[in-house]
Copies of this chain bind each other. A is one copy, B any other.
Amino acid sequence: MSAYRGKYADELIANAAYIGTPGKGILAADESTGTIGKRLSSINVENVESNRRALRELLFTTPGALQYLSGVILFEETLYQKTAAGKPFVDVLKEGGVLPGIKVDKGTVELAGTNGETTTQGLDGLAQRCQQYYNAGARFAKWRAVLKIGPNEPSQLAINENANGLARYAIICQENGLVPIVEPEILVDGSHDINKCADVTERVLAACYKALNDHHVLLEGTLLKPNMVTPGSDSPKVAPEVIAEYTVRALQRTMPAAVPAVVFLSGGQSEEEATRNLNAMNKLKTKKPWTLSFSFGRALQQSTLKAWAGKEENIPKAQAAFLARCKANSEATLGIYKGGGALSEGASESLHVKDYKY
């Protein structure tokens, strides 16, 4: 059998297509407890459950924001949390026409014999966990594989191991009703140029799609969450149009048309950079048989976090900042973003943290 045809096939196809609706995208709010702790400490907020809950409530209940989102990725704790008034977050999202998603990987571990390369764990008992998440309302999942560019990296071992892990995760998700987001992130760290990033991205994506085919994954019921193709963090910047051209070309060379949508990660890009680059891709006149949208974490929340700073009286202006970024990225998926969307403090701030682990 070439591709999964089990009981969830039609639902997977419909949900994956919905997530790729032009004008919508994904809010990645799946920071683990440790990672959200770093965000909270940057605004001097204590990392306790009530604060984590309050932040996510601020985001999900921002008036008018949900119309710009097709999905929100949640960390496990958040999947079971409620608003202060007692309404489950999954219900808030569903009523707003937003599919709840769930991060299912268990972080990275180093591959022995490599120069700090990693693979991602989380396959053990994954089927059962997916079933639980589906029952709790989740309809898509996310698994982050990480690769880096270096003199000898990414190695064939790292590529093969991460591609295989993504493929196993993907088919298990599909067997249990969750659309798998396939995320092979190639870190931006380094002094390489955009051509090097393009070459590595094409090799990695080709390996991923071969692995997905080998594992009988139904491509129509998946999404891809790749890095954009850019110069390394220590190299000179290039124009958004250049990033757009290289990124779309890499996808043209490796990603079958059956995949309904690409939901880009923002990596270390500032809010404004990420939006402009996405906009440039959607303006490009070339073959693009898949939607190009966003799955942004930091690039949607940075200025919101700064505006909130943990204080209730700041909620309206924090929500205004969040709404502005959602709207800006919605426009970027349509290629109509004009730039400078209500720039809040922090919108142009680079969010690059060397060798970021979350």
- Which residues in A have some Cβ–Cβ distance to B below 8 Å? 1-3, 198-200, 202-203, 206-207, 209-210, 213-214, 219-220, 249, 251-258, 287-289
Complex CA distance for A253 and B209, rounded to whole angstroms: 9
CB within 8 A of A219: which of B219, B220, B253, B258? B253
Rounded to whole Å, the gap between the CB of A223 and the closest CB of chain B is 15
Q: Copies of this chain, how many? A: 2
- Asked whether, in the complex, the Cβ of B252 is within 8 Å of the Cβ of A2, the reply is no
- Asked whether, in the complex, the Cβ of A198 is within 8 Å of the Cβ of B254, the reply is no
- Asked whether, in the complex, the Cβ of A206 is within 8 Å of the Cβ of B202, the reply is no
Residues of B within 8 A of A207 (CB): 210
Known contacts A199-B2, A252-B257, A256-B255; is A213 also within 8 Å of B219 by CB? no
CB within 8 A of A249: which of B202, B251, B258? B258
Q: Which of A199, A252, A258 has the most CB of B within 10 A?
A: A258
Complex CA distance for A27 and B288, rounded to whole angstroms: 30
**19 further contact pairs, Cβ within 8 A, besides A3-B253, A209-B210, A289-B289:** A1-B199, A2-B198, A3-B202, A202-B213, A206-B210, A206-B213, A209-B209, A213-B253, A213-B254, A249-B258, A252-B256, A252-B257, A252-B258, A253-B256, A253-B258, A255-B256, A256-B256, A257-B257, A257-B288
- Asked whether, in the complex, the Cβ of A206 is within 8 Å of the Cβ of B203, the reply is no
Complex CA distance for A301 and B207, rounded to whole angstroms: 41
Rounded to whole Å, the gap between the CB of A262 and the closest CB of chain B is 12
Q: What are some 17 contacts across the A-B interface (CB < 8 A)? A: A2-B199, A2-B253, A3-B202, A202-B213, A203-B213, A209-B210, A210-B210, A219-B253, A220-B253, A252-B256, A252-B257, A252-B258, A253-B256, A254-B256, A255-B257, A258-B287, A289-B289
Complex CA distance for A81 and B258, rounded to whole angstroms: 45
> Which partner residue on chain B sits nearest A260 by CB separation?
B287
Rounded to whole Å, the gap between the CB of A300 and the closest CB of chain B is 28
Rounded to whole Å, the gap between the CB of A167 and the closest CB of chain B is 12
Residues of B within 8 A of A256 (CB): 252-256
Rounded to whole Å, the gap between the CB of A222 and the closest CB of chain B is 11
Complex CA distance for A252 and B289, rounded to whole angstroms: 10
Rounded to whole Å, the gap between the CB of A230 and the closest CB of chain B is 16
Rounded to whole Å, the gap between the CB of A319 and the closest CB of chain B is 38
Residues of B within 8 A of A203 (CB): 2, 213
For the complex of A and B, 3 pairs with smallest distance between CB atoms = A206-B213, A2-B199, A210-B210
Residues of B within 8 A of A210 (CB): 206-207, 209-210
Rounded to whole Å, the gap between the CB of A184 and the closest CB of chain B is 14
Residues of B within 8 A of A3 (CB): 202, 253
> Which partner residue on chain B sits nearest A250 by CB separation?
B2
Residues of B within 8 A of A219 (CB): 253
Residues of B within 8 A of A249 (CB): 258
Complex CA distance for A262 and B42, rounded to whole angstroms: 54
Residues of B within 8 A of A206 (CB): 209-210, 213-214
> Which partner residue on chain B sits nearest A205 by CB separation?
B213
Complex CA distance for A288 and B210, rounded to whole angstroms: 20
